[in-house]
Each structure stands twice: as C-alpha cells, then as structure tokens.
Structure 1
Amino acid sequence: MNFTNLYFLRLLWQIPIALLILSIFLFSISGYAISFNSRRTKDVAYVSPTSPDFSPERHLLDIYTPRSTSAKGRPVVVFMHGGAWNSGSKNLYFIIGRRLAKQGVVAVVINYRLAPSVEVPAMADDCARAVIWTAQHIADYGGDPNRIFVMGHSAGGGLAALVANDDQLFTKFGMTKNPIKGAILDDPGGLDMFDYLTKMQYPGDESYLGAFGKKPDVWRTVSALYYLRADSPPVLMYAGENTYPGIASSTRKYDKRLQELGIKHEFTVLPGKKHIPMVTQLFWKNNVIYRDLLKFVGAESS
C-alpha cells in the first residue's frame, strides 16, 4: 500500500472521531443541565500509585451518583470507552455518566492503558482492576456491590464482554469470584479477534496488530466469544444496521453462541445506525438502550 492510500485511510478514520468530538461539544450544554441531578467524583485511582505499572493518567475513573438519596444501594454500571484500543478517554463520556446517574444508576466511567504502551491483555487487566475497585468501594458512593454491570462501546464493548466472562482476570488479582452480573454491549468490537485477525479481510486490519500483537493464541485469549459458558451473566447487545462489517459479523456470531448456550440475552440491530451514532445516541435520555438498560439493572429512577 503506497503513502497516498495510507494517508487516505488515516483520514477516513479521523472523520468518525471528529464527528464524535463535535457531538460531545454540541451536547456539552445539555451535560451542564443534567449535572444538577448528579454528583461527579473525578480522577479516582483504581490502581495503587505504588504499583510498578501505575499510570497516573490511565488508571483513573470517575464516579457519577444521583443527588437524591436511596434507602438501598443502587445498581452500578462500569462504562468502558472505545477508540480502537489506541485512543479514547473517560472525559469524552461524561454525559453518559450524567445520564445514567440521573436515571438512578451509579455510573463508573474508566480509563485504561492504550496501545502502543500496552497490548490488549494489559487493557483487560486494567478493566478487571477497575471492576475490583468498584466492588470494594462503590458502597461508599451509594452503589450496590452485588449489582455491578459492565458496559462499553466499540473496543470498550469487547473489553466489557471479556471481563464479564473471563473469571481468571479476577482470580489473578486475588478476587475469588467475578462480581459482574451482566453486560451491556453497544456495537462491540473484538468479540472474536482470533477469527478477525486470522482472516485479515479489510484494508488497514494490520494496524490492529499494534494492540493485539502477532500471536494467534493471544488473539484467542482476548476474544470474549471463547469464554462464553452456560452460566455466563446475561447480556444486552446492540449493533448498528450500518456498522462496520467486522462488528456486524462478530455480533451475529456472538448472538448465535449465546443462543446455543441458553444464556439470557437480547440482541437488537438498530435500523440505519452507523458505528459512531451507536454511542452518540446515549447523549439523549430517551433512547432504546437506556430504556432496556434500566430494566436490565433494576434501576429506580431518581
């Protein structure tokens, strides 16, 4: 592939990112309005600063809590951002945290380390560590540690699916049981990266090797599809009708495997939606994902 083609591919990739940032800017005014219904605790370290791998930027999370009080602990949703495993920040998704808190959920929006600094196995470790911190501390913020759900879009959706099903991510850090009670997957990427990278069907697929490495056994290790079992936690999964072909294919495959194992789940294809609008729709309160999510986690509206 010549320089001109590479430049064009990079430019195409920047277009949806630019649209995402523009959408966030336009809806930031809405974010100020809904902030009165929630509290934000910002930049909490979920890895000890004395840990040798501690990242002062990436090992941080934000907590969004409803301002109203509740006699019992509220359901908790840990949100993992997208960005092709090499970009993204919790700070871009504050509106999602605010929206969830306004609707009676304690939201935890996390950062995790990115490529090229680390590869996906380390990112999965980070997401598990953030969930462990949540289980240990969320009661202090009004959340119920026995009702922790994970949610993610794009790369974050693949990581959410992985931590929901790979129990070893928790036992390696001393937790005897995976605390996740369910997963909400919004146009998730990487559900079967073993198959995807083995085939290399699409232009630019080689770029993912920076995050996943070049070893097929590792690709399989970080693919949530291969961890599904009959007692896996329930799943809400959404895909855009016009999303990327790789995501369309892997979500159908994931849905089929969920059906085969009898795992409680719902899979919805949203008409006309592309990949980026699948997350920007969450800036609005009244969308199908929130409506389903609130029932799924058992939230009581604030």
Structure 2
Amino acid sequence: MIFLRLLWQIPIALLLLTIVLVFANEYAIAHSSRREKNIAYVAADQPCFDAERHVLDVYTPKEPSAKLRPVVVFIHGGSWDSGSKNLYSFIGRRLAKQGIVAVLVNYRLAPGVQVPDMVDDCAQAVIWTTKHSAEYGGDPNRIFLMGHSAGGGIAGLLATDNQYLANRGLVQSPIKGTILDDPAGLDMYDYLQKMEYPNDEQYLIPFGKKQEVWRAMSALYHVDSGCQPMLIYVGERTYPSIVRSTRKFNQRLQEVGIKHEISTMPGKKHIGMITQLFWQNNVIYRDLRRMVTGSLQ
C-alpha cells in the first residue's frame, strides 16, 4: 500500500517541480529585461488607426551597454486572421536576455483588412523602429526581421520587396537579415491556384480572389540579388504546403546567390516550431545571435 502511494505521488511531485522550475526560469528571465508595451506606431489621428492592432511592445535588457544593441522585429502568426504579440512575450524576454532589443508587433487582421494592409502595417512598425530604437538602446543600423507562420510570410515579403517601406518614405531598407520560422505564404500564388486542402477557401478572405494579388503577396516572386541574408527553419512534420513553398524559396535564394541557411527541425510540427523558442538555448536563438553579431558565415 505504501509503495502504491509513492507511485501515485511521484508523478505529481515531478509535475509540481516542473511547474516551479518553469515559473522560476520565467521570473529570472523576465527580471533581467524591461518591457514597454502598447506603443502606437501609427499616429492616432490617422483615419485607419486601430488602437489595439497598431501597437507594439519593446523588450530591452536591464543590464546597461555602452554600445547600441542589435534589434529584432518579431511578427506573429495566426493564419492572417488571429494572433497577438501578447502571446509571444516569452520571445521578447529571451531576446532581451541575450542582449538584443526586441520589438513585437501587432497588425490588423482579416476580415477587417487584407494581406497588403497587414504588410503595410508591419512596414510602418519597421519604420517606427528605425526612428525610435535608439531611445531603447537599439541600433537603427542593425535591424533584423523575424516571423513565424503567417508572420514569417509577411517578414519574407518585407525582406524581398522594398515597395512597402518605400511607399512610406523609407527608400533604403534598414533590414539587415531575416529569420523565418516555419513561414506560411511564401508562395500563395501556387497555393491558392491549387486549393488542395480542406477549407482552403478561408484564405480567400485575407488574400482576396485576384491572382495578381496572390503573386504580389508571395515573397518567392520578389527574391533578387539585393536581398539580405536569411535563416530559414522548417518543421519535419509541419504542413506539406510549407515544406513545398520553403523548398522553392530556398532554391530561388540559391539561384540568385543570397547568403542563407535552411534547417529542417526533426520531429517538429508547426506549433512546435514556435513553442520551442521558450527555451533560450534553442538552435534558432543560437543562429540568430550569429546573424545579429555579424558572424554568420
């Protein structure tokens, strides 16, 4: 009877210990950084201003630095119709823990707007970052993009097509590199023409029904020799469409001669590709540090 009681208690004890360790780790990381939240990156007097979606959070290390730090702008995913920067505070804290200024962005979502407006929102967030990052100890000359899922597709588009920044008055892109984590939408032109999977019609809401828009919103068709370095990560067990479009994107980067690295993460599904970033020593963070410090070979 005593042995059975011990067997019952051990899993509970392990669970409680795990919870305590997780919270202790989270507290330690949070304690080493500052967060300034819900900063508007679009002027409140603009007709399209959305007080919930046109905001961003800035995470900065508490430890002082004599030099300006690299800046990573993170764009969340959510199928272009959901998601929030608030779900990814762990990424902001972990980046700050590693000496990086992190900017986590909200942007408007479908059905309120379509993808071109979402990309424009994120372009305005990047422009805000170039103007204000130094106020938070960030280097406006070392700005990097990072995105997961739909956010990866938006980041890829901003990294390959400068018209969104140029349309807002920033002719020279400040983006020095891009990290794409299981990116969705790199080739929506092909995806929406085929409609191979159940419920694919849902994506006609954010992308519309015009094929020229599908192509324009696909980073694959904008890759040229002017693109900056990229790090790309794909889950071994992610959606087949992401595997296929990322493979085509990689091939195009090779053809043009863009410095990049692509990695397949063993056993990882789409959600696991973002939740793994809870762990500070994850390979994506290690590679990201190489990129932002200029040591990417």
TM-score, normalised to structure 1, is 0.89
Instruction: Specify the SS of the correspondent of 2:82.
Output: coil
Tell whether the 8 Å contact from 1:238 to 1:268 is kept in structure 2 after alignment.
Answer: yes
Q: How does 1:47-126 map to 2 (within 5 A)?
A: 47-126=42-121
Residue number in structure 1 paired with 2:187? 192
Match of 2:239 among 228, 240, 244: 244
1:33 to 28, 46, 56: 28
8 Å contact 1:46–1:130 — kept in the other structure?
yes
Tell me which residue corresponds to 1:146. 141
Matched, 1:295 2:279: no
Shift of 1:180: 0.6
1:216-252 superposed Cα distances (whole Å, 9 cap, x missing partner): 0001111111110012011000000000010010010
Q: 1:27 to 1:255 in 2, by over 3 A?
A: farther
Aligned partner letter, 2:169: G
Corresponding letter in the other structure for 1:51: Q
Aligned to 1:19: none
Equivalent of 1:201 in 172, 183, 196: 196
Deviation, structure 1 residue 166: 1.1
Kept in 2: contact 1:74–1:143 (CA 8 A): yes
For residues 206 and 25 of structure 2, what CA distance do their matches in structure 1 show?
Answer: 34
In the other structure, the counterpart of 1:284 is 279
- Indicate the percent of aligned positions where both proteins have the same amino acid: 64
Q: Offset at 1:29? A: 6.0
Cα distance in 1, alignment partners of residues 211 and 85 from structure 2: 30
1:106-137 deviation per Cα after TM superposition (whole angstroms, max 9, x unaligned): 00000000000000000000010000000000
Aligned to 2:171: 176
30-39 or 59-68: bigger deviation? 30-39
Query: Which residue is equivalent to 1:135?
Result: 130
Q: Which runs of 4+ in 1 moved over 2 A?
A: 26-33
Gap change, CA 1:27 and 1:85, over 3 Å in 2? farther
Residues 50 and 163 of structure 1: CA distance in aligned 2, closer, same or farther (over 3 Å): same
Aligned residue pairs: how many?
A: 275
Which of 224, 248, 252 is the matching residue for 1:253?
248
Judging changes above 3 Å, is the alpha-carbon distance between structure 1 residues 246 and 32 closer, same or farther for their aligned structure 2 residues?
same
Q: 1:138-197 CA distances to partner (integer Å, 9 max, x unpaired)?
A: 000000000000000000000001111111101111112111111000000000100110
Based on CA coordinates, which of the two structures has the bigger radius of gyration? 2
SS in 1 for 2:173: coil
Give the CA deviation at 1:299.
Answer: 8.1
Contact 1:150 1:180 in 2 (8 A): yes
Aligned to 2:122, what secondary structure does the other structure show?
Answer: helix
Contact kept, 8 Å, 1:75 with 1:299, in 2: the verdict is no
Residue 55 of structure 1 aligns with an amino acid whose one-letter code is D
Deviates more, 1:174-183 or 1:81-90: 174-183
Residue type at the aligned position of 2:88? Y
Which residue does 1:275 correspond to in 2?
270
Q: Is residue 165 of structure 1 aligned with residue 132 of structure 2?
A: no
Q: Secondary structure in 1 aligned to 2:49?
A: coil
Question: What secondary structure sits across from 1:61 in the alignment?
Answer: strand
| 2:217 aligned residue | 222
Q: Which structure is higher in RCO with an 8 Å CA cutoff and minimum separation 6?
A: 1
The unaligned stretches of length 5 or more in structure 1 are 1-25
Q: Give the root-mean-square deviation of aligned CA atoms.
A: 1.4
Most deviating of 134-143 and 168-177 = 168-177
Counterpart of 2:107, as a letter, is Y
Q: Which amino acid aligns with 2:125?
A: A
In structure 2, the gaps of 5 or more residues are: 1-20
